[in-house]
Amino acid sequence: MKFSSFINKFISFSSLIFILSSCSGNNVDDTYRTSPEYDSNEFSVSKDSGITILGFGKGDSDGTDGAVAVNAFLWRAALDTISFMPLASADPYGGIIISDWHALPESPDERFKVNIYILGRLLRADGIKASVFRQIREGDIWRDSIVGQEVSTEFEDAILTRARKLRMQAVTEEN
């Protein structure tokens, strides 16, 4: 008897959650979704908007026209900043760049990995987040090691500095 009562409550609760979630409206503010001018069919960037890759999404019904919701200068600067490291993953639509482990030649028993998150379309200091991970080899095993917050901050500062330079180059080229 108790088991069937539990099942009935579970089904009722699940149904209620499903109904409530399907009734919620889409309250997303679409004012930031302006599509960039297309420079080519493969790749384009407008001054303060996202990236368009391979013309994907031209004429989408949601009005985004394939624009990625991350800042193009931050994206390019992040890739430039960690270009010495191998990439494990790069998602321009989500604004996530994940490097693979990299050991410097002068210290082969220590390796680093960086995750970079681009948080929006604006070129602002709070638009980027970097996480740095470090491991030290002990025999045949890699052990996690502590990395100070200042290392992540230095990565973020380097990316922001590079992004500002890229933006200044773009503005100069437009004039």
Q: Tell whether 47 and 109 lie within a shared domain.
A: no
Residue 128 lies in a domain: yes
Mean pLDDT in residue range 50-69: 48
Domain boundary among 50, 68, 86: 68
Q: Tell whether 86 and 160 lie within a shared domain.
A: yes
Q: Tell whether 144 and 83 lie within a shared domain.
A: yes
Give CA–CA dist 69/71, Å, rounded. 7
Residue 15 lies in a domain: no
Give CA–CA dist 64/3, Å, rounded. 49
Q: Which of 56-70, 71-85, 89-103, 139-153 has the lowest mean pLDDT?
A: 56-70
Q: Tell whether 42 and 117 lie within a shared domain.
A: no
Q: Which residues of 159-169 are buried (b: 16+ CB within 10 A; e: fewer)?
A: bbebbeebbee
Q: Tell whether 40 and 97 lie within a shared domain.
A: no
Please give the residue range of the domain that contains residue 85: 72-174
| pLDDT score of 35 more than 70 | no
Q: Tell whether 64 and 78 lie within a shared domain.
A: no
Q: Tell whether 145 and 161 lie within a shared domain.
A: yes
Mean pLDDT in residue range 67-96: 89
Domain count, the chain: 2
Say what the pLDDT of residue 4 is: 59
